[in-house]
Amino acid sequence: MIRIERRLEQPRYLQLVVPLGSVVVAFAVMAIVLAATHHPPGHVFARLFSSAFGSRRALDSTLVSATPLAFTGLCAAVAFRMNLFNIGGEGQLYIGAIIGSAVAIALGQTSQTLTVVLMVLAGAAGGALFALIPGVLRAFFSTYEIITSLMLNYVAALVLDYLIFDSQSFWRDLSTPDARVFPQGKTLPNSATWPTLHVSLVFPLGLLVAAAIALVVHVLYTRTRFGFEVRVIGDSPRAAAYAGMRTRRTILLVMALSGAIAGVGGASQDGDFRHVLDPRGLTQAGYGYAGIVIAALARYNPFAVCLVAFVLGGEILIRHRVLLRRHPAEAAA
Amino acid sequence: MSTPTPAVSLRGITKRFPGVVANDHVDFDAAVGEVHALLGENGAGKSTLSSILTGLYRPDEGTMAVYGERVEFRSPREALEAGICMVHQHFRLVPTFTVAENVLLGDHRAEGRGLFVHPREVEQRVAELGVRYGLDVDPRARIWQLSLGEQQRVEILKALHREARVLVLDEPTAVLTPQEAEGLFATVRRMADEGRTIIFISHKLNEVTGVADTVTVLREGRTVATAPVAETTPRSLASLMVGREIEGARRVARTDEIGPVVLEVDGLRVRGDRGNEAVRGVSFSVASGEIVAVAGVAGNGQRELAEAIGGMRAFDAGSVVAAGHRLRGGNAREAIHAGIAHVPEDRLHTGVAANLSVASNVVLKSYRHRQSRRGPLLRLGAIRERAAALMERYDVRGAGPHVPARQLSGGNLQKVVLGREFSDTPAVLVAASPTRGLDVSASEAVHRYLREGAASGMGILLIGEDLDEILALSDRVLVMSGGAVVGELDPGTATREELGLLMAGAGA
């Protein structure tokens, strides 16, 4: 008789073999479906791959779609590491985009450096403050942050819609009769366009900021007292209380950090890609929810988040370009 | 003379886990109608052996026979069907169900499987069994309303209801008061007299000599002796268990003088988790170099008292003054700064962050200190070195500083906790049940460290239920019952009986 028992010790190689095996199985299943519908699997796979990773142009587009995912992935990873389930990356990104674009519009045409720096800071502040709502509720009233942060995503989406479609707000373009009939946001001044880095590929500034944040988060979480507290609280809140750690303060800080990262992602949407506050585009993309998946796949490791964001960015591109025959990156750019 | 068929017979049982041989050709026979103690330190292979006996594990080698019949259990269910029943240390009861419902749930036969159940009949039967075996518990009570002692009775009732022929009791007295333990022993005797076989797993020597007919001692996975209890002494059993002579928890006469008061508790009132008043106006003081014990049955306010002094629980009234610092209460950081070290009752979930490394747990409190950091960054190398030094000093074996704390045995884990708490030279140490669940060697080490701590001038508040430990270590014993101190005894002259009666609230 065969009995399946749990291994007491996992061999190291399994950590690699299991995920790779899963990918192989996934492709095999896909191949069966393709073959059954008379599409040569080899050809389809080659096309899928080339459309996201096969050329310099494809890779540039992948970097574009990876950028917001890196932010929301980091947003989730930072909080999840402390078992603080901030599901609100989506809404925090919207608020970052709203505040970031407000700063850009308010500043008008001026120094690019100043505008970009202020947009990053404003986005971070907006996201942080918005994340502090579930943060405060959790820290002082033991409310589940999962529920509150999730519900606030809808609030943020409604605010976003309201600003452009249902009001004559500061963000809305009312300069032409056309714009009055077909609501749209004010185009941001040129100085609010974020620069890019060309090193054989085109790196959006946002992606570089996200990478820098990943590095800072890594150091913060592994080498500092704050990070130590986060790890202890995440593992055992009782042990943290016993050791005299200020759990409430840490919850607030982590929520603020998490929200700030998503908020910068929102500002990056304004400055890197859309150059306008774009409710439809932002709410349809679902970056915040994708970030949760990315954080989980990356096992909350900030560097792995960047890597997974890149791969999933490619996947999103494939989905839109090949499978749905749409061109979201171009439309946004 | 032919030997009667044993109820359970194990021959050459071997079970290997990666890196360890948990059972190494163990032979074990339990006669029908006897109480057979299985004695051994933690890690000696008692749990593995009982898991094999109850079908949880399958042995790699060896044979088993129940009432002379060769058996090979492929699941716990098959062991149950053969009449072998285990009463686990951690009860397997549904808290929101009644006693009778739990008994029914534990029975895989007849009613449990049918569509309809007849609670009245089961209640009736449970009540009858209770009377017959002295297992006093209301069949209609819900589990969550019961004390741990009563819950254990339900577990035994479950076994009796399904007509177990062999009962395995795993460390059954760990959660009981002395009086409850006496009651359990009476029940055990009665069950044995009826022809049931009781396998009594323990590492407490006085229990074994008190209740068992035969004892088998395991050490490092091997059977080192089987003998009628009458032919053994606690001392001989202890050396068999440990493999060397041990001193035991013997009282050491104090020679050094007691210093100034380091902990002053006055009129302390503390609420429990359910908002009940758990500590009702307790006052006492502990002097430097003194070990003051607080004895009491679990649930009489000692845990809340310890947590209040350790800063983990706010208090309603009264004061706690440690080394001149008056605590505002409910703030562990404040207590730590005041020089109060705390060995919590639940070391795995409170005393350490179990998934973090031993090194991290060594600096669980001192990570804030200057020597643990350079600027904003932690000095990870220095922290690792400190952990390694502490593990060396407190004889923590079998792991490095990078290993997750949960992988340490109970004894090693407690040494890490104690070492950490001692490392900041506290004025006061609150130790709650510091040897609960530890084996003889580890308990011995903990006792040695506590004595050393007192000798170096700490005031130690020792909270617990282990009377032998309390009588051996302390200079004074306060007895808590119903949230109040109901008596103070001199451990030099007090007896276990006196203490037990006071703890049960029956004192004058």
Q: What is the DSSP string of B323-365?
A: TTEEP-SS-HHHHHHTTEEEE-S-IIIIIS-TTSBHHHHHTTT
Q: Rounded to whole angstroms, how far apart are CA atoms B7 and A205?
A: 77
DSSP secondary structure letters along B440-498:
HHHHHHHHHHHHHHHHTT-EEEEEES-HHHHHHH-SEEEEEETTEEEEEE-TTT--HHH
Structure tokens that stand for A68 in this block: 């917001």
pLDDT at residue B177 above 80?
no
Q: Per the CB < 8 Å rule, is B367 touching A228?
A: yes
Tokens 């009449």 correspond to what residue? Answer: B83
Closest CA to A272 of A122, A94, A97: A97
pLDDT at residue B2 above 60?
no
Least confident of A50-54, A68-72, A208-212: A50-54
Chain centroid, CA B419 distance in Å: 21
Cβ pairs bridging A and B (under 8 Å): 73
Does the predicted model carry a pTM greater than 0.80?
no
Can you tell me the ipTM of this complex?
0.84
Candidates B331, B363, B380; nearest CB to A223: B380
**Strands (E) located in B369-458:** 373-374, 377-378, 428-432
Q: What percent of chain A has pLDDT over 70?
A: 94
Q: What is the pLDDT of residues B296-338, one digit of tens each?
A: 877 788 889 999 999 999 999 999 999 999 999 889 999 999 9
Q: Per the CB < 8 Å rule, is A9 touching B368?
A: no
Residues of B in contact with A240 (CB under 8 A): 353
| Total residue count of chain A as it appears in this document | 333
Mutate to test the interface with B, among A7, A229, A236 (most CBs of B within 10 A): A236
Residues of B in contact with A243 (CB under 8 A): 332, 336, 364-365
Q: What is the pLDDT of residues A68-77, one digit of tens each?
A: 999 999 999 9
Scanning A173-286, the segments in alpha helix (DSSP H) are 177-181, 205-223, 225-235, 237-242, 247-268, 279-285
Average pLDDT, stretch B66-75?
A: 90
Q: Binning pLDDT at 50, 70 and 90, where does residue B353 land?
A: very high
Q: What percent of chain A has pLDDT over 90?
A: 81
Q: Per the CB < 8 Å rule, is B360 touching A231?
A: yes
Compare A156 and B241 and report the one with higher pLDDT: A156
Q: What is the pLDDT of residue B247?
A: 52
Average pLDDT, stretch B73-95?
A: 87
Q: What is the pLDDT of residues A193-206, one digit of tens each?
A: 999 999 999 999 99
Q: What is the pLDDT of residues A126-138, one digit of tens each?
A: 999 999 999 999 9
Instruction: Kindly tell me the sign of the dihedral angle through the C-alpha atoms of B450, B454, B460, B462.
Output: positive
Compute the mean pLDDT over every residue in chain B, rounded to the nearest whole number: 86
Q: What is the pLDDT of residue A7?
A: 61
Residues of B in contact with A9 (CB under 8 A): 18
Q: Per the CB < 8 Å rule, is B312 touching A228?
A: no
A186: helix, coil or strand?
Answer: coil
Structure tokens that stand for B382 in this block: 């220095």
Q: What is the pLDDT of residue B253?
A: 55
Q: What is the pLDDT of residue A330?
A: 47
Least confident of A223-237, B401-415, B487-501: B487-501
Q: What is the pLDDT of residue B466?
A: 78
Average pLDDT, stretch A176-188?
A: 89
- Nearest residue of B to residue A246 by CA position? B333
